[in-house]
Structure 1
Amino acid sequence: MKLLIVEDEEDLAMGLKRGLRKNGYEVEWIGEGRDGLALALAEDYGCVLLDLNLPGLDGLDLLRRLRAEKPQQKVLILSARGSVGDKVKGLDLGADDYLVKPFHFEELLARIRNLTGRRFIRQDVVVCRGSLRIDTGSHQVYVRDQRLKLTAKETQILETLALHEGKRLSAETIISQVWGEDEDLFSNAFKVHLSSLRRKLAAASGEDWIECQRGLGYCLKENPDEKA
């Protein structure tokens, strides 16, 4: 998912950029209001992280113009203006959320997930691939109508892959959806859960459902048992 940071404090912006990239996001940064508006209108972003005290064009003016032309764009205000009046004004102009500086990075991640992440892993849909059926509403997985016993993390990994049909996901992207900000889980927990998930799917169906291509990421195969 691509995020845009519109923030004139370079040190803060660079810190956010590094942290968000570690959590699987693609991030662009701009430090000036007019350029930020132009970029937000020209590109598609999962969320715009918007400061209010910007050179060139104030953040509230940027928000007003962005809302007029791109009403569906998710916007999270990040500002040192912390009064109730400032928050109300920002939200009334169309911001989806408002976070006061200074803030904890973990809270920022949670706010971004709340605005953008639900559509990836919290849809009450059923994904069917041959003998494999994934019910994302009840969080149950079936192979040939037999329920497969998976851990919560294994189920979330499988749902994330299933709901990104036709796309390869990096390990960072999957981790950001399943574990969020817990970066320490990157090297071990993801690999352990993924390996266990693949073993369970193979034992139940006789097929390896998850494809991994180095440098490109992971995807759920279309229907490996039909191709065998």
Structure 2
Amino acid sequence: MRILLVEDDVMMGNSLQKGLGANGHAVDWLQDGSLVEGAVQSNTFDMLLLDLSLPGSDGLDILRSLRAARKRLPIIVITARADVKDRIAGLNLGADDYLAKPFSFEELEARIRAVERRISGFAETIVRFGPLNCNTATREVEFLGEKINLSSREYQILSALLSRPGAIVSKAQLTEKIYDWDSEIDSNALEVHIHRLRQKLSTKFIRTVRGLGYQLVDEPLQK
């Protein structure tokens, strides 16, 4: 999942970026509220983690503007404003969840997964496609009944493909989902990761559609 983190506190921003990155997310971090709408316009994010007390533009104003523009981007407010009236204001303006500081990192991750499931239509933490089961809470993957150990990047690619099961996902779309602004991307990096993922699953489970991208295949398969 590619996440836009908007947080002006340097210590918290660093901590969240590192923690979320270690859990397999691509995280871009902004500290100025005035930069948010431009970033959302020019990039494809899966979720926005939005502080409210920001330089440049207040978080509630950002939320109001994004929803007025009919942006369907899932938004979790993370803020020290814990009053009921602030929570109500954030939720009424279109936030998908509201988390008051201080909070545990584990709770934030759980709320991210819950919002992701709700938006994608998956009620359970287990996502199934053909012979593959993926536990989005524990990041455990089973293929043909066998547990598979994936690297963080391999899991990101699989998760991106599972978000659109059976559909063709372009190389550009995959790249945008798994790499943040600070990543150095080799020209064939994505192909290398997909090759390794195929070796761990099945060469036929991830199909290359020439000139278009990649898709998961729900057909009888064997390793």
Query: TM-score w.r.t. structure 2 length?
Result: 0.61
Indicate the residue corresponding to 1:2 in structure 2.
2
1:218 paired residue among 180, 197, 217: 197
The answer to whether residue 56 in structure 2 is matched with residue 74 in structure 1 is: no
Q: Which residue matches 2:27?
A: 27
Question: How far 1:88 moved relative to its partner?
Answer: 0.4
Q: RCO greater where, 1 or 2, for CA within 8 Å and sep 6 or more?
A: 2
Q: What is the CA distance between 1:41 and its match in structure 2?
A: 2.6
Q: CA 1:85–1:21 in structure 2 vs 1: closer, same or farther (change >3 Å)?
A: same
Q: Which residue of 2 aligns with 1:14?
A: 14
Q: Which has the higher helix share?
A: 1
Alignment of 1:175-214 (within 5 A): none
- Kindly indicate whether the alpha-carbon contact (under 8 Å) linking 1:33 and 1:55 is maintained by their aligned counterparts in 2: yes
Structure 1 residue 42, shift from structure 2 partner: 2.2
- Decide which moves more: 36-45 or 73-82: 36-45
Q: Report the RMSD for the aligned CA atoms in angstroms.
A: 3.9
* Aligned partners of 2:204 and 2:221 also within 8 Å: no
Tell me which moved more, 218-227 or 66-75: 218-227
After superposition, what is the alpha-carbon deviation per residue over 1:53-104, rounded to whole angstroms, capped at 9, x for unaligned? 0111100000011112243110000000001111000000000000000100
Aligned-pair identity in percent equals 36
**4+ aligned runs moved over 6 Å, structure 1:** 123-126, 166-169, 224-227
Cα separation, partners in 2 of 1:65 and 1:162, compared to 1, 3 Å: closer
- For residues 34-183 of structure 1, the aligned pairs below 5 Å read 34-117=34-117, 119=120, 122=124, 127-128=129-130, 133=131, 150=145, 163=162
Tell me the secondary structure at the aligned position of residue 218 of structure 1.
helix
CA contact (8 A) 1:127 1:162 kept: no
- Which has the larger Rg? 1
Q: Which runs of 5+ in 1 are unaligned?
A: 143-147, 174-212
Which range moved further: 160-169 or 111-120?
160-169
Cα contact 1:5–1:49 (8 A) shared by 2:
yes
Is the contact between residue 117 and residue 125 of structure 2 (CA under 8 Å) also seen in structure 1?
Answer: no
Question: With structure 1 as the length reference, what TM-score do the two structures score?
Answer: 0.60
**Structure 2: how far apart are the matches of 1:100 and 1:113?**
17
Separation in structure 2 between the aligned mates of residue 112 and residue 10 of structure 1, nearest angstrom: 21
Report the number of matched residues: 168
